[in-house]
Amino acid sequence: MISQFFQTVDLGIKSLLVQKLRAGLAALGIFIGTSTVIWLVAMGEGVSYRAQQQILELGAKNIIVRTVQPNDSGDEDANSRVKTYGLLRSDYQRIVENIPNIRRTIPMRELKFELRLDDRSADAKLVGCSEDYLELNRLQIARGRWLSPRDRGKKVIVLADETAKRLFPFENPIGRAIWVGSEFYTVIGQTKDRTASAAIGGSLDSRDYNLDAYIPLQTLRQRVGDLVMKRVGGGLGFNFTGENVELSQITVEVNHIEEVDETAQIIETLLRKYHEKQDYAVVVPRELLRQAERTRTMFNVLLVVIAGISLLVGGIGIMNIMLATVTERTREIGVRRALGATRSDIIGQFLIETVVLTASGGIAGVLFGLSVGPVFRLIKRVIMTISPESLPPIVNSLEPRIAMWSVVLSLGISLGVGVLFGVYPARKAAYLDPIEALRHE
């Protein structure tokens, strides 16, 4: 029985080798479909993994309360040149005093500012923050030191990596004084390079930590203030607008992860009570993580469906080839039936030929699909060599992640397609009239 099976397999392979080009083209559809499943799922898993890591970096036990510019429609403040909105220092005090189970609360204010030194300048994001900001954002000190309680109210500054390189390309910035607006600040530290974070849906904006500059929150309040004016347009008359914002963000960390959802609801209720406008947003990274996982599942299902259609098209091509093969080999089928071959033998022979065809295409597709990592890195290197600016940072940091279930699924589908689309040609061959088949020219 086993020897007969291998004999049938051997006969099927030899029959396919007679028409190598046609068999190769028929298997090409399965090859493309199989490798497409693995490649698309690997890229999707890489994007999803990157997004989830960024969400985890926000902290599973954190609640982020952000200032959001409200919609101006129907607002009497819409025609004003100075808009007042956002989180207040009183909001921060209410959160600290009224909500239990809080481990720590970190307020922050940020705004764009030009930093200058001699003829060099850097358009940085000036961040007024507390001492916990370093640990919260997983920043690391490259040289010097971070802000401490004794720096509160003082004109000291910590530069991010790229900001320091623009102002001090060949020098040690520690101890040097730079212009922040119209005042001198002393540089006390420099942070290490940190990968930029991508935007997460509409909840959080992308952020480049390397172009920051950090000063104590009290210093920013005393020296810069809450009101920031900026010039718009170039005409005569009033051409300035301003924003009056006390805090850009409050990060609340709770003691246990089970308390995140309840604490977020309490914060939202508290803010709703004291804010007439929707000028804040409460973001829960844990909920973002759940959304990311749901999005990844839906994305993978979509990719598998798209690639499955490709395999279906490949299967139809194989059925077409096998039907043509049955017509060409009608006389051979008649001879085999005349010599005693049963219909089951004929069906088995053609089914095995079809499965060998799809299996060879599927295995080749799997091997090519497993090379997604090296091929993707090679393409990135080529693009970086030719045009480094054309490659977005998020793509540069992306790494495909092969999902083993996609390998098993794609190979299984390719074999299933072989059986499914091989049955009809095999039955057509088996049910040919032997006498008519022998007369076939």
DSSP string of 369-409, one letter each residue = HTTHHHHHHHHHHHHHHH-GGGS-HHHHT------HHHHHH
Instruction: Clarify whether residues 9 and 68 are in a common domain.
Output: no
* 3-state class percentages of the chain: helix first, strand second, coil last, to nearest 5: 55, 20, 25
Whether this model's pTM surpasses 0.85: no
Compute CA distances 229 → 198, 239, 243, 244, whole Å.
29, 10, 7, 9
- ∠ CA 275-281-287 to the nearest 5 degrees? 140
Q: Which of 322, 353, 361 is nearest to 30 (CA)?
A: 361
260 and 334 co-located in one domain: no
CA distance 160 to 211: 6
Contact yes or no for 125/110 (Cβ under 8 A): yes
CA–CA dist 62, 57 (Å, integer): 10
> Cα separations (Å) of 366 from 20, 92, 138, 308, 401?
21, 55, 39, 14, 14
44 and 66 inside one domain: no
Tell me whether strands 102-117 and 183-191 are parallel, antiparallel or unpaired.
unpaired
Same domain for 406 and 276, yes or no, is no
Rounded to an integer, what distance in angstroms lies between the CA atom of residue 27 and that of residue 69?
57
Q: Do residues 164 and 135 make contact, with C-beta atoms less than 8 angstroms apart? A: no
Regarding whether 53 and 65 lie in a shared domain, the answer is: no
Is residue 98 domain-shared with residue 242, that is, in the same domain? Answer: yes
What stretches in the chain show pLDDT beneath 50?
none
User: In total, how many domains does the chain have?
Assistant: 2
Q: Could you tell me the two tokens for 82?
A: 């100075």
Task: Please state, in angstroms and as integers, the Cα–Cα distance from residue 77 to each residue in 89, 219, 232, 242, 274, following that order.
Answer: 21, 29, 18, 12, 18
> Please, which residues have CB within 8 angstroms of residue 337's CB and are 6 or more apart in sequence?
346, 432, 434, 437
Last residue of a domain, one of 284, 309, 338: 284
Shared domain check, 333 and 277:
no
Q: Is 184 left (phi over 0), alpha (psi -120 to 50) or beta?
A: beta
CA angle 74, 76, 82 (to 5 degrees): 125
Hunting for tokens 């693009």 — which residue is that?
383
State the pLDDT at residue 434. 73
Return d(Cα 118, Cα 422) in angstroms, integer: 78
- Count, residues in the chain: 441
What local confidence, expressed as pLDDT, does residue 79 receive?
A: 59
pLDDT of res. 186: 94
3-state DSSP of 386-397 = HCHHHCCHHHHC
| Angstrom distance (rounded) from CA 213 to CA 323 | 71
Range of the domain at 375: 1-57+291-439
What's the pLDDT score for residue 341? 79
State which of 284, 318, 341 marks the end of a domain: 284
- Note the pLDDT of residue 77: 56
Domain boundary among 259, 284, 309: 284
Same domain, yes or no, for 253 and 386? no
Q: Collapsing DSSP states into helix, strand and coil, what is residue 277?
A: coil
Q: Are residues 237 and 350 in the same domain?
A: no
The distance from CA 156 to its chain's CA centroid, rounded to whole angstroms, is 37
Answer whether 413's CB lies under 8 Å from 311's CB. yes
Q: Strand runs (DSSP E) across 6-134, as ranges?
A: 62-67, 82-84, 102-117, 120-129
Find how far residue 39's CA is from the centre of its chain: 15
Do 116 and 212 lie in a common domain? yes
In a shared domain, residues 23 and 79: no
> Are 52 and 65 found together in one domain?
no
Non-local (6+) Cβ contacts of 100 within 8 A are none
What's residue 393's pLDDT?
Answer: 65
